[in-house]
């Protein structure tokens, strides 16, 4: 009996030692990304203008990093909150923890160098080495042209400073450990020439992260590749209503198979029309998290390029119920 107890004690000690070593490796080796580059960006008017266009109408950074007013259709950013952060994403959305969008005005990023911001945006690693939950779409930003990332940095540096104290995000166990293994170095690309519509459209679709909302995910929250762009991912509102993303593949019955370029562009641009007034939306009434009013500022040539790329996507039949007034 004593021998068995001794063996069990040795085994337990070995397991504990392995766990301690594993945790030490996670803390010391991961996230496994390069140090922040030595980088000084010239904040020219052209850079700031391009960055404003990207952050507000393409990558829509301001979608999460502002307070969205869902008393209006599509939840446009509330005045005075641009870049101030504070949006909460939690278990009610099927997420493994509680996560907050940070303040990205000069008030919130003053302790970041340009290189540290570049690494944060493209790898998801903070200036003190913490990994971000991939709700922040750094995997997509890490495939963009570095010049576009420089422009976004120049723009957020130019924002009026808004004071706000945002709580730290907290992932549940064991996701808090797994998170450390997810970040990787960005694989930056050169932005395609806009004359190559399909390639340029693919670049914009990646930058906009369209696949994230328009694809169903596994129970672990991972995108199901074979269902890419076929819609069906659901997002709850606090009142219990549920909005589900549309199928944007070329399926003629359930997707965009019968759409033409003009219809696609007009669908976005209607929200930028000078006569358009964004309607108020009450609890239980149809609303969407799709930031139409933000995407409506995208250039027509960019929308046409996105449509050209979407035309190359294989049709997947998936009928979607876009909105239900109560959670299912």
Does the structure show a pLDDT above 60 at 22?
no
Among left, alpha and beta (phi > 0; psi -120 to 50; other), residue 193 is beta
pLDDT at residue 328 in the model = 46
What percent of the chain clears pLDDT 70, i.e. is strictly above it?
90
Strand partners, 324: 242
Residue 5 has what pLDDT?
61
In this prediction, residue 10 has a pLDDT band, given cuts at 50, 70 and 90, of low
Q: What is the strand order of the sheet 234-236 is part of?
A: 234-236, 242-244, 323-324
Q: Residue 239's pLDDT band (boundaries 50, 70, 90)?
A: confident
56 or 218: which leads in pLDDT: 56
Q: What pLDDT was estimated at residue 30?
A: 62
Pick the closest to residue 85 from 70, 71, 99 (CA basis).
99
Domains of the chain, residue spans = 1-30, 34-188, 192-328
Residue 21, pLDDT > 60, answer no
Kindly report the average pLDDT of the chain as a whole number: 91
Distance linking the first and last C-alpha atoms of the chain? 56
Question: Residue range 11-36: average pLDDT?
Answer: 66
Q: What is the mean pLDDT of residues 141-154?
A: 98
pTM of the full structure: 0.91
Task: Report in angstroms the alpha-carbon separations of 79 from 47, 172, 290.
Answer: 24, 33, 19
pLDDT of residue 165: 86
- Average of pLDDT values for 129-135? 93
Most confident of 9-13, 236-240, 300-304: 300-304
**pLDDT classification of 33: cutoffs 50, 70, 90:** very high
Sheet holding 97-100, edge to edge: 88-89, 97-100, 170-171
């Amino acid at each position: 009996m004593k021998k068995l107890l001794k063996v069990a004690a040795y085994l337990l000690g070995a397991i504990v030692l392995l766990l301690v070593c594993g945790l030490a490796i996670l803390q010391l080796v991961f996230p496994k990304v390069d140090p922040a580059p030595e980088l000084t960006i010239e904040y020219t008017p052209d850079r700031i203008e391009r960055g404003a266009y990207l952050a507000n109408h393409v990558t829509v950074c301001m979608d999460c990093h502002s307070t969205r007013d869902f008393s209006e259709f599509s939840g446009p950013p509330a005045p005075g909150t641009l870049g101030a952060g504070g949006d909460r994403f939690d278990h009610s959305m099927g997420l493994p923890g509680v996560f907050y969008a940070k303040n990205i005005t000069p008030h919130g990023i003053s302790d970041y160098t340009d290189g540290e911001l570049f690494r944060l945006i493209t790898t998801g690693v903070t200036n003190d080495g913490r990994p971000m939950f991939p709700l922040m779409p750094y995997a997509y930003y890490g495939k963009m042209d570095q010049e576009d990332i420089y422009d976004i940095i120049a723009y957020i540096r130019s924002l009026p400073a808004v004071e706000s104290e945002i709580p730290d995000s907290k992932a549940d166990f064991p996701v808090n450990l797994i998170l450390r293994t997810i970040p990787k170095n960005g694989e930056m690309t050169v932005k395609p020439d806009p004359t190559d519509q399909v390639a340029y459209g693919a670049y914009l679709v990646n930058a906009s992260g369209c696949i994230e909302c328009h694809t169903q995910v596994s129970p672990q929250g991972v995108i199901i590749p074979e269902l890419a762009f076929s819609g069906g991912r659901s997002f709850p509102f606090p009142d219990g209503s549920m909005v589900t993303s549309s199928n944007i593949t070329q399926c003629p019955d359930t997707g965009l198979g019968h759409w033409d370029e003009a219809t696609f562009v007009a669908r976005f641009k209607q929200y930028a029309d000078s006569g358009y007034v964004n309607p108020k939306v009450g609890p239980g009434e149809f609303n969407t998290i799709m930031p139409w009013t933000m995407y409506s500022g995208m250039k027509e040539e960019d929308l046409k390029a996105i449509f050209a790329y979407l035309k190359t996507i294989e049709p997947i039949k998936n009928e979607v119920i876009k909105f239900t007034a109560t959670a299912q």
